[in-house]
Chain A
Amino acid sequence: MKLHNIIAFLFIAGLANAQKSEDLIPKDAVTVFSINNFNLLQKISLDDLVKYEFMEEIQQELFDGSTSGKTLKDSGIDFDQKLNVFYGRGESNEVSGFTFGIKNKADLFLVFDDFERIESPYPGTEFYSSYFNNLIIQGNSALLIRVEPTMEKVDEMTDSIWYSRGNKNPWYMDDYMEPINENDEEVFEEEIFEEMDPEKKPDSNYEFPDAEEDPNQKNYYELRDSVQLIMQTQLLKELCDELLIEKINLISFDSRFKEQLTHTSEGIFYLDNSRNVQKAQGLWYFQTMFPSLYNDMKELYTGNVLLGDLLLHDNSVQFKMEARYGEKIGSIYEKMNDAKFDNHVLKYIHQDNSAYFTYNINLRQAYEEAYKVVMPILTDERNAQISANVLTIELLNEFVNKDALFGTYKGSMFGTFNGIKKIKTSKIEFTYDEVTFEYIEKEVEAEEDMPIFTIGFTTERGDIPEKVLNHLSRLTSRFQNMGNYWIYEDAILDAAPLYMINKNGLFIFTNDEDLAVNHANGFGSVALSKKEAKKSKKSGFMYANIDWAQAIDRFPRDFFSAQQNEIIDAMRGKTGIMELTTSKTTKEKTNFDLVYNFGGTYDNPGKYLLDMLNSLYVISK
């Protein structure tokens, strides 16, 4: 029984709310997705549920042999409890699994038929084990968990033991292969026996000893397996001691998670970014070489957590997310996101666009604040390398013209996707002489499909990119100043032109010829409506809007893999608007609100969610 199947199974089947399955979430969980089953199951029947492809396979996997003919309804899972899926990665180990409620243990083990009961060292707790996974039952709740040491840690430990025993490098001979002489034939025991000196020939019933395999190779791999198993056992014991004896779980460890669990939404999401940062493997060098700096940086990220709620409404799915952070980082975000909305961008968004976003930040303020927050931390570090870097930064801060730099690139931007359009290219055509059928090449105009994108940046120093473009146009004729816009021939995939518009405090890149040639000052009456523009202006630092039906139908299939196209196909025929809004950023938090309002064909938003999940399942098989 594959873990991902179990996850998929429980992801749907265990959408439960009520008791205490959440008490079994270990504190090492960094990411948790907790689903309130009760609410979802009010809207989705299990009979509908089992019609999905992911359910069919799970039924095959779980309800095999003696369980044939049964359904999820017979699985023994308590749908009144929450299902909590979690994952966490530490410096030396990974932990993943989920917790759920149990209604009928006997039925449960008809489903989890690969697990064998083992002796439990914890009173009141039952332990079951399969090859990789462990099932721990306490009361009416269960924890299915997998704890694994990272392979780097296993290798490190194995090598240490291996060499301390005086062994040679186990990989040394790996690349060297004895050439196989095809003339060599296998020599059978009977032949050896026949050819032996008659005087020394043993009894005909003599059994020849088995040939030994390479003891070096075998022993090393065996040792590594043993190390892995021991580490796995130790890690599981440490986790269980903490969870089941000391009663430390994620709820007691993090009050924000505890508070989040009280939400009545269909699902909640928790990601402790600060622990992600602390345990990121890439920081190992940093942690080892500059421990005090590492601690200071760690402190900077303290309190950095993402908390989310998934809400299913009659005609929409809503994902509300709260990004919380510590005061110092918060002060940088607050300054960064304190930017005035640039109204000019709205002129360049066509009312018939398929998708667009606006992004307003103030890089200058963010830089100044980051300088104020980060530099004292760096300056305190007594290290030659860091000191040299600090000096470089301080000198750049003095010498660089920040007015020019942040005036040119202020940070705010917008982007649009306008579907596929025919764009002009050239092609070679062969024309034939009727008399001889000889042919000559001729370059003619052609058209090809191209996704049309526009991306623009707010600038108050349009003269600086203009200088660069003027210089480039002197170097190559591919850059041409066309008055209202610049053109860079064959810039896109060596075939299509890129247009640049430097007007109205914006520097815009686009492959939309119509925008450059006919609307260099904006789309005018066909620009985004005032109502739509207002939404964008009212949002915090970011706003995004996708017309799902248009965007999906206009997606260029050839630019995506077969798997990605499967998701796109699954979404085809569905309509609706996906909208992302953000709140004003404070020193403590920023709120994100993603709402997908869909049109008519779906009577049940939960069913819509399952359609999406099914698509993901099909492609992840």
Chain B
Amino acid sequence: MKITSFIGLLIIFLSFTSCIEIIDDISIKNDGSGTLKYTVNLSSSKIKINSILALDSLEGKAVPSIEEIEERIISFKKKLEGKPGMSNVSLDYNFTDYIFKLQCDFTNVMALQTALKEVIQEESKEKNIPELEQTWLSWDGTKMVRSIPEITVKKTKDFKQEDIELMKQGNYTSISRFERMVDKFDNTSATLSKNKMAVMIRTNPYALTQNSTILENTIYLSPIKN
């Protein structure tokens, strides 16, 4: 699940950032509840980010101050906490290494999706975001279907060539964890952990923005043992 819009205010960084690393880690229990961890690591572009933050504006867009970014992060967290089915929301960030970590528990994947969509919509200036109508996650107790919205493809059309090259050097890691073993999965790029309870797909942010199906996967689980 790609929630670039969730970190909407970081988009200014994404377009100027060399090696961005994103980890999207979801754990689902047998009852459908679970935990989402979403990590954005910009530590390899500290100088660049600091130099951008030192500016008032860049290419006609106002550069937010650290305080403003912090304010938006806190606002996002508060909004997410208030959504039904969400609990233990934590958002860690440090402006030394530029690492941002979101973690939250959810009662079911629909609650998670709805909460994220609502918060993104509330935070966004755009009234209608058609991509938010898509379903990114579904879980029926035996299989999980994952995809990402196409929202990022549009954003990257304006990127400069050198930024695109730099984005290609980044990493996007998507991990799905379960309480029981994985039987099989559709995406041939995915790998299974040795304990067979987690599936990982790794790509780079640019490939992801150009082809939102890269992370599409249907993961089938082994039956629950009584």
> Which of A427, A446, A448, A561 has the most chain B CB atoms inside 10 A of its CB?
A427
| A290 CA to B194 CA, complexed, in Å | 85
Which residue of the partner chain, among A435, A437, A493, A558, contacts B46 with CB atoms under 8 Å? A493
Question: B193 interface residue, CB < 8 Å from A?
Answer: yes
| A423 CA to B44 CA, complexed, in Å | 12
Chain A residues within an 8 Å CB radius of B41: 428, 430
Question: A495 interface residue, CB < 8 Å from B?
Answer: yes
Chain B residues within an 8 Å CB radius of A423: 47
| A440 CA to B94 CA, complexed, in Å | 16
Could you tell me if B45 and A436 are in contact, using CB atoms closer than 8 angstroms?
no
Chain A residues within an 8 Å CB radius of B58: 561
Could you tell me if B51 and A493 are in contact, using CB atoms closer than 8 angstroms?
yes
Chain A residues within an 8 Å CB radius of B194: 434-436
| A38 CA to B193 CA, complexed, in Å | 80
Question: B221 interface residue, CB < 8 Å from A?
Answer: no
Could you tell me if B96 and A494 are in contact, using CB atoms closer than 8 angstroms?
yes
Could you tell me if A428 and B193 are in contact, using CB atoms closer than 8 angstroms?
no
> Which of A448, A450, A492, A496 has the most chain B CB atoms inside 10 A of its CB?
A448
Question: A281 interface residue, CB < 8 Å from B?
Answer: no
| A562 CA to B160 CA, complexed, in Å | 11
Known: A428-B41, A435-B195, A437-B198. 14 other contacts (CB 8 A): A430-B39, A430-B41, A436-B193, A436-B194, A437-B200, A441-B99, A448-B18, A448-B44, A493-B50, A494-B96, A495-B47, A495-B50, A559-B51, A561-B58
Distance in Å from the Cβ of A410 to the closest Cβ of chain B?
Answer: 31
Distance in Å from the Cβ of B164 to the closest Cβ of chain A?
Answer: 14
Question: B2 interface residue, CB < 8 Å from A?
Answer: no
| A426 CA to B99 CA, complexed, in Å | 13
Chain B residues within an 8 Å CB radius of A428: 41, 43, 97, 99
Could you tell me if B43 and A427 are in contact, using CB atoms closer than 8 angstroms?
yes
Could you tell me if A437 and B21 are in contact, using CB atoms closer than 8 angstroms?
no
Known contacts A450-B47, A493-B47, A496-B47; A436 and B200 CB within 8 A of each other? no
| A492 CA to B46 CA, complexed, in Å | 11
Could you tell me if A430 and B43 are in contact, using CB atoms closer than 8 angstroms?
no
| A559 CA to B16 CA, complexed, in Å | 11
Residue of A nearest to B200 (CB): A437
Could you tell me if A446 and B59 are in contact, using CB atoms closer than 8 angstroms?
no
Could you list 9 examples of A-B contacts with CB < 8 Å? A428-B41, A430-B39, A435-B193, A435-B194, A436-B197, A437-B198, A446-B44, A448-B46, A562-B60
Question: A253 interface residue, CB < 8 Å from B?
Answer: no
Distance in Å from the Cβ of B196 to the closest Cβ of chain A?
Answer: 10
Which residue of the partner chain, among B45, B96, B162, contacts A557 with CB atoms under 8 Å? B162
Chain A residues within an 8 Å CB radius of B197: 436
| A441 CA to B39 CA, complexed, in Å | 11
Question: A252 interface residue, CB < 8 Å from B?
Answer: no
Residue of A nearest to B99 (CB): A428
Could you tell me if A448 and B45 are in contact, using CB atoms closer than 8 angstroms?
yes
Question: A432 interface residue, CB < 8 Å from B?
Answer: yes
Which residue of the partner chain, among B18, B19, B193, contacts A437 with CB atoms under 8 Å? B193
Could you tell me if B44 and A432 are in contact, using CB atoms closer than 8 angstroms?
no
Chain B residues within an 8 Å CB radius of A450: 47
Question: B175 interface residue, CB < 8 Å from A?
Answer: yes
| A441 CA to B177 CA, complexed, in Å | 19
Chain B, range 39-70, C-beta contacts under 8 Å to A: 39, 41, 43-48, 50-52, 54, 58-60
Question: B9 interface residue, CB < 8 Å from A?
Answer: no
Chain A residues within an 8 Å CB radius of B43: 426-428, 446
Question: A439 interface residue, CB < 8 Å from B?
Answer: yes
Distance in Å from the Cβ of B103 to the closest Cβ of chain A?
Answer: 13
Chain A residues within an 8 Å CB radius of B195: 435-436
| A495 CA to B99 CA, complexed, in Å | 14
Total A-B pairs in contact (CB under 8 Å)? 72
Distance in Å from the Cβ of A464 to the closest Cβ of chain B?
Answer: 30
| A449 CA to B47 CA, complexed, in Å | 8
Question: B23 interface residue, CB < 8 Å from A?
Answer: yes
Which residue of the partner chain, among B16, B23, B44, contacts A558 with CB atoms under 8 Å? B16
Contact count band on A: 20 to 34
Chain A residues within an 8 Å CB radius of B39: 430
Chain B residues within an 8 Å CB radius of A558: 16, 48, 51-52
Chain B, range 8-40, C-beta contacts under 8 Å to A: 16, 18-19, 21, 23, 39
Chain A, range 452-505, C-beta contacts under 8 Å to B: 492-496
Could you tell me if A430 and B23 are in contact, using CB atoms closer than 8 angstroms?
yes
Could you tell me if A562 and B59 are in contact, using CB atoms closer than 8 angstroms?
yes
Chain A residues within an 8 Å CB radius of B44: 425, 427, 446, 448
Could you tell me if B177 and A425 are in contact, using CB atoms closer than 8 angstroms?
no
Residue of A nearest to B58 (CB): A561
Could you tell me if A448 and B59 are in contact, using CB atoms closer than 8 angstroms?
no
Distance in Å from the Cβ of A264 to the closest Cβ of chain B?
Answer: 44
| A450 CA to B23 CA, complexed, in Å | 28
Chain B, range 161-216, C-beta contacts under 8 Å to A: 162, 173, 175, 177, 193-195, 197-198, 200
Chain B residues within an 8 Å CB radius of A557: 162
| A423 CA to B46 CA, complexed, in Å | 12
Distance in Å from the Cβ of A552 to the closest Cβ of chain B?
Answer: 16
| A450 CA to B51 CA, complexed, in Å | 10
Residue of B nearest to A450 (CB): B47
Residue of B nearest to A439 (CB): B23
Distance in Å from the Cβ of A234 to the closest Cβ of chain B?
Answer: 40
Chain A residues within an 8 Å CB radius of B23: 430, 439
Chain B, range 101-147, C-beta contacts under 8 Å to A: none
Could you tell me if A437 and B175 are in contact, using CB atoms closer than 8 angstroms?
yes
| A559 CA to B23 CA, complexed, in Å | 29
| A449 CA to B45 CA, complexed, in Å | 9
Chain B residues within an 8 Å CB radius of A448: 18, 44-48
Chain B residues within an 8 Å CB radius of A427: 19, 43-44, 46, 97
Distance in Å from the Cβ of B16 to the closest Cβ of chain A?
Answer: 6
Please provide the 5 A-B residue pairs with the shortest distance between their CB atoms, ordered closest to farther: A493-B50, A427-B44, A495-B46, A427-B43, A428-B43
Known contacts A430-B21, A437-B193; A494 and B198 CB within 8 A of each other? no
| A557 CA to B43 CA, complexed, in Å | 21
Chain A, range 340-382, C-beta contacts under 8 Å to B: none
| A561 CA to B97 CA, complexed, in Å | 25
> Which of A435, A437, A559 has the most chain B CB atoms inside 10 A of its CB?
A437
Chain A residues within an 8 Å CB radius of B99: 428, 441
